[in-house]
Amino acid sequence: MTRLFVDVHVLQTVPPSNINRDDTGSPKSAVYGGVPRARVSSQAWKRATRQMFRDLLDPATLGVRTKRVVELVAERIHTVAADLDQPETLAAQVLKDAGIKLEKPKRGKKDDTAGDEPEQSGYLLFLSASQIARLATLAIESARTGTPVDKSAARAAAQGDNSIDVALFGRMVADSADLNIDAAAQVAHAISVHAVNNEFDYFTAVDDRAPENNAGAGMLGYVEFNSSTLYRYATVNTAMLRENLGDDTATVDAVTTFLTAFVKSMPTGKQNTFANRTLPEAVLISLRTDQPVNLVGAFEEPVNAAGAARAIGAAKALATRLQNVEHAYGDGSTENLVVAAGEAVGELTSLGEPLRFSTAIEQVAAKVRSALGGPA
């Protein structure tokens, strides 16, 4: 197996929007290069990517991340063995046997039902569909035979047979380190390539049933927003992904699914208000054998429009940064695939002949397949 990192760099212009809010409702931001930037957290885009997986793959094959793991396993037990009583009790026991600590859900001040709910994990737990099914099978066998679940078998059931999303994004179990899965994909916080100042939209809404002599608004308020050209970056360690999945074909499928979903997805914050969904101006996929390289340094000096579309200036800065990095540190093995829409394509032709996105994905799949030792 040849070591291979798949880096994906995205330049994407987003119109007035508030796709990722902080605790005050304001668009998230960061200071970089001494100026304020728009920011979209890695968590927000990872969730958007995971949600798009459900459009690209059979949802039944994907994992679930939840504290309500007892309910999750209990539902599977009930589906397979509806005759068994108290599936929640069986599910809780097999999860505990696997080394997962459970606790009663915390009761709110006005909540009288929390004490009746099944136990939950104290943290979000990411389980694949296969792991859920195997844990349920052990619980059913235990109930049928009257013998306790073997703890080593329960731990084994919660490991292996990772779904694509679990293999890519990993899992941390604070109580049992042996259940941890190192993430094969890393996603950076997206930031604007230029300085950004947030703006405010003062809005009113009219009551359709208001009397004719009432000219006032039914409600009023304001929402904070900005617009920006974002630099987005993610990388996939194909060797780690192969280790997590245990299968060459699944690894290739996982890489192509991740690239497709990461490039085309968008967090949904305030989407109904702003209809801000766009596709990238440019996508650069770098296939590296040395290490992942984030090219955000291209934008430490803010990109100014100066009579041209900001995405064009950003594409030029991105190409220059990559060439400089390769000149200083590269060994000539990096391969670049370019996808661009509009005038930004001209700034990236020095890195490679522009391709359709689908063609670039096919070429990545061939390269990953070859790195794993299979036919290109």
Cα–Cα–Cα angle for 244, 58, 251, nearest 5°? 25
Ranges of each domain in the chain:
5-54+184-195+227-371, 64-162
Q: How confident is the model at residue 113 (pLDDT cuts 50, 70, 90)?
A: low
| Percentage of residues of the chain with pLDDT beyond 90 | 81
Q: How confident is the model at residue 206 (pLDDT cuts 50, 70, 90)?
A: confident
Of 194, 272, 287, the C-alpha closest to 236 is 287
Cα–Cα–Cα angle for 94, 154, 150, nearest 5°? 90
Task: Collect contacts of 89-94 with beta carbons under 8 A, ≥24 apart.
Answer: 90/139, 90/140, 90/142, 90/143, 91/118, 91/135, 91/136, 91/139, 92/118, 92/119, 93/139, 93/142, 93/149, 94/135, 94/136, 94/138, 94/139, 94/142, 94/149, 94/154, 94/157
Q: How confident is the model at residue 344 (pLDDT cuts 50, 70, 90)?
A: confident
Bin 98: left if φ > 0, else alpha if -120 < ψ < 50, else beta.
Answer: alpha
Contact between residue 370 and residue 335 where contact means Cβ atoms under 8 Å apart: no
Q: Which residue has the higher pLDDT, 154 or 212?
A: 154
Residue 135 reports pLDDT greater than 80? yes
Of 304, 284, 308, the C-alpha closest to 33 is 304
Separation of alpha carbons 327 and 8, rounded Å? 20
Q: What pLDDT is stored for residue 177 in this prediction?
A: 86
Cα–Cα–Cα angle for 332, 333, 336, nearest 5°? 100
Provide the 10 A C-beta neighbour count for residue 27.
24
pLDDT tens-digit readout, 39-52: 999 999 999 999 99
Separation of alpha carbons 127 and 161, rounded Å? 10
Q: Which residue has the higher pLDDT, 7 or 118?
A: 7
Q: Which residue has the tokens 């916080």?
A: 189
Q: How confident is the model at residue 368 (pLDDT cuts 50, 70, 90)?
A: very high
Question: How much is the average pLDDT of 53-68?
Answer: 94
Question: How much is the average pLDDT of 350-357?
Answer: 93
Q: What pLDDT is stored for residue 173 in this prediction?
A: 87
Of 219, 188, 190, 198, the C-alpha closest to 25 is 198
Q: How confident is the model at residue 376 (pLDDT cuts 50, 70, 90)?
A: low
Whole-angstrom Cα Rg for the chain? 25
Residue type, 126: F
Residue 341 reports pLDDT greater than 90? no
Question: How much is the average pLDDT of 92-119?
Answer: 81
Question: How much is the average pLDDT of 343-355?
Answer: 88
Q: What pLDDT is stored for residue 218 in this prediction?
A: 74
User: Across all residues in the chain, what is the average pLDDT?
Assistant: 92
Q: How far is CA 42 from the centre of its chain?
A: 7
Q: How confident is the model at residue 114 (pLDDT cuts 50, 70, 90)?
A: low
Q: What pLDDT is stored for residue 171 in this prediction?
A: 93
CA 30 to each of CA 47, 232, 267, 315: distance values in angstroms, whole numbers, following the listed order = 20, 14, 18, 21
Q: What pLDDT is stored for residue 160 in this prediction?
A: 84
DSSP structure string for 67-135: S-HHHHHHHHHHHH-TTSS-HHHHHHHHHHHTT--EEPPPPPTT-SSGGGSPPEESS-EEE-HHHHHHH
pLDDT tens-digit readout, 264-309: 999 999 999 999 999 999 999 999 999 999 999 999 999 987 656 8
Q: What pLDDT is stored for residue 343 in this prediction?
A: 80
Joined tokens for residue 359? 């063609």
